[in-house]
Each structure stands twice: as C-alpha cells, then as structure tokens.
C-alpha cells in the first residue's frame, strides 16, 4: 500500500513537471493553431541558460529562472515576428515544417557549441527529500510542481483579467473581427509566442537541477508535451495540469507494476486512442 501511495505521489509530481513545460505549447496552439515542434528546444535553451549561469557565475538555478524567462521571451518574440508570422495565413503544415526546421537548427547548433555531453547541475539541495507520513518527496520536483500551478495560474489570470489577455482571446476566437476592432493581430501573435516561450524557458530552468541536460534533449520533451496537451484538451490551459498529472500517474503506475518499456508504449497508445475517440481531451474543452 505504501508503495502504491509513493508511486501515486511520484506520478503526480512528474505530472506537475510535465504541466509546467506543456502549458506554453498549449497556449501557442490554442491561439495560433501552430504546433511548435521546436518547443523542446525552448525548454533546452532555458535549462542550458541555468546550467551556464551556474557553471560560470555560480548562480543558483532557481535564481536564473527570471533570466531564462526574459531571454526566451525575446527569442520567442523574434521567432514569431520574423518567421512564423510570415506563414501564419498559409496551410497549417507550413508552420509545422517551419518549426521543425527551427528544431533542427537550434538543436544541432547547440550540439556544435556544447557537444553531445550529458550534463547536470549539482546543488546543495539536489538530492534533498522531505517526508510526510513515510512518503518521500524530492524537494526539486516539488518546487517545479508548485511552479506549474503558478504558471497555469498566471496564464489564466493573464488571459482572463488583463487587456492583453482579452486581445489574445479575441484573436484566438476570430482573427478578422479582432483586426476590425483595432487589435494588431501580428503583434498579439508575437507576444503570445513570446509568453509561451518565456514560460517554457522558466520551466526549463526549474527542471535543470534534476534532469540530465544535453543539446538534443528537446524532441522527447516536445513529444511528452503533445501527449499532455492532447489528454488535457489542446489549447485549454488548465488542461495542461490535468493532462500532465494523468499522464504522470499512468506512467508511474506502469513503471512500478509492469515495466518501464510498456510505460512509454502505453503513453502513445493512450494518445492515439484519445485522438480517435475524444480529440477534445479529458476535459472536453480542447479546440478541434
């Protein structure tokens, strides 16, 4: 029973980590219908920002979170403004291939700069745990789990309560009408991508103390983000939390009770079945 509860908690914590880096993917898809295949690279860049700041200037990875956020915000703005905006009116495949091209460029330039080496950040609290009623909780994962709620909460507040959020929602609902009402659609797109990239960079910096970092790590994270966002409902931000936690728990249970290989298989089978039978996600709020 204790093993079961421990597995469940592990799954929920991993789910939070998943949610933290999938929310930006969902935001970008929800507003622009762009499947950002370079999503994992944004995460990788965030994580590497934290890594280099730690390595060179001995800055704690948690303190580099805002720096990663700002850098990725600028990069995201640039990518949308000068690249994706040019193909946004064209068939959706153009944006997938474009972002895939960016994935190749960013990941392989990173390989050239930083080699294939596996790296990790070892801080004083890296292996720290605390336990409640005999259940062990790793500190770093717990922090990212909390951060996931902050990210989703922030996005929710931004979209629902601010003028920028209203403009973003209007653009997502009906681009032409938004334009008529004086919304600068291209600028909103650039800001949306920038915000999506920034929170992904933040998530990248926050996972850097407990994951292995290497330039090609991105693609596998993009794939997990896919699964999470489809499970929770594509484009529905709180869905990232729900999808993330469900996926995390399912994976943790299959790893503990069957084997690790089957856990990945089940992830993809689940994704496939979900798309066929309920493409709007478990919440039913995804846009189709």
Partner 1 sequence: MKKLLLILIIFVLVASLPLFGIDRYYMRFFTYLFMWIALAGCWNISSGYTGYIDFGPVVYFGIGSYSTAILMTLLKIPFFISIFAGGIIALIISTFIGLPTLKLKGAYFAIATFAFAESMKQIILCFDRTFHVKFFMGSYGITLPICNNYNLFYYLMLLIAGIIVVITFFIEKTRFGLALKAINESEEASQMIGINTTLIKLSAYMISAFFISVVGGIYAYWVTYITPDDVFNVHKTVQMVIMSLIGGMGTLIGPILGATFLSSISEYLGAEFVENYLIIVGIIVVLVILIEPSGLYGLKKWKKYLKQTK
Chain residues binding partner 1 by CB under 8 A are 29, 33, 35, 83, 86-87, 90-94, 96-98, 100-105, 107-109, 111-112, 219, 223, 226-227, 230, 234, 258-259, 261-262, 264-265, 268-269, 271-272, 275-276, 279, 288
List the structure tokens of 238.
């709180």
Residue 129's φ and ψ, nearest 5 degrees, are -130, 160
d(CA 66, CA 262): 37
Q: Which is nearer to partner 1, 69 or 215 (CB)?
A: 215
d(CA 5, CA 80): 43
Closest approach, Cβ 29 to partner 1, in A, equals: 7
Q: Which is nearer to partner 1, 93 or 177 (CB)?
A: 93
Instruction: Give SS3 for 119.
Output: strand
Closest approach, Cβ 48 to partner 1, in A, equals: 16
- 43 in Cβ contact with 206 (< 8 Å): no
| DSSP code string of 131-179 | EETTEEEEHHHHHHHHHHHHHHHHHHHHHHHSHHHHHHHHHHH-HHHHH
Q: Which is nearer to partner 1, 43 or 121 (CB)?
A: 43
Q: Which is nearer to partner 1, 153 or 261 (CB)?
A: 261
Closest approach, Cβ 270 to partner 1, in A, equals: 9
d(CA 29, CA 207): 23
Q: Which is nearer to partner 1, 50 or 79 (CB)?
A: 79
Q: Which is nearer to partner 1, 137 or 271 (CB)?
A: 271
The Cβ of residue 196 has, within 10 Å, a number of other Cβ atoms equal to 29
Closest approach, Cβ 113 to partner 1, in A, equals: 10
Closest approach, Cβ 95 to partner 1, in A, equals: 8
The Cβ of residue 219 has, within 10 Å, a number of other Cβ atoms equal to 17
d(CA 12, CA 101): 34
Compute the radius of gyration of the chain from its Cα atoms.
Answer: 19
Which whole-number Å values give the CA distances from 242 to 40, 81, 228, 266, 275, in the listed order?
20, 31, 8, 18, 16
Q: Which is nearer to partner 1, 48 or 145 (CB)?
A: 48
The Cβ of residue 136 has, within 10 Å, a number of other Cβ atoms equal to 11
Q: Which is nearer to partner 1, 35 or 75 (CB)?
A: 35
């Amino acid at each position: 029973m204790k093993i079961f509860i421990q597995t469940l908690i592990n799954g929920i914590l991993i789910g939070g980590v998943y949610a933290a880096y999938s929310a930006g993917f969902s935001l970008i898809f929800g507003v622009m219908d762009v499947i950002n295949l370079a999503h994992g690279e944004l995460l990788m860049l965030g994580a590497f920002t934290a890594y280099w700041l730690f390595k060179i200037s001995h800055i704690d990875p948690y303190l580099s979170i805002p720096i990663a956020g700002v850098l990725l915000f600028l990069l995201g703005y640039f990518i949308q403004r000068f690249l994706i905006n040019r193909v946004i009116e064209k068939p959706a495949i153009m944006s997938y291939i474009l972002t895939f091209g960016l994935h190749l460029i960013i990941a392989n330039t990173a390989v050239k700069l930083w080699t294939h080496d596996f790296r990790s950040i070892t801080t004083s609290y890296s292996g720290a745990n605390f336990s409640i009623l005999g259940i062990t909780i790793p500190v770093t994962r717990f922090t990212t789990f909390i951060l996931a709620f902050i990210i989703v909460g922030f996005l929710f507040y931004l979209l629902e309560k601010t003028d920028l959020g209203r403009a973003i929602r209007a653009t997502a609902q009906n681009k032409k009408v938004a334009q008529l009402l004086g919304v600068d659609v291209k600028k909103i797109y650039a800001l949306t991508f920038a915000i999506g990239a920034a929170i992904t960079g933040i998530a990248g910096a926050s996972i850097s103390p407990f994951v292995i970092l290497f330039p090609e790590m991105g693609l596998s994270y993009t794939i997990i983000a896919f699964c999470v966002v489809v499970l929770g409902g594509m484009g529905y931000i709180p869905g990232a939390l729900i999808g993330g936690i469900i996926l995390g728990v399912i994976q943790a249970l299959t790893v503990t009770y069957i084997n690790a290989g089957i856990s990945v298989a089940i992830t993809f089978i689940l994704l496939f079945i979900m798309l066929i039978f309920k493409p709007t996600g478990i919440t039913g709020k995804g846009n189709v």
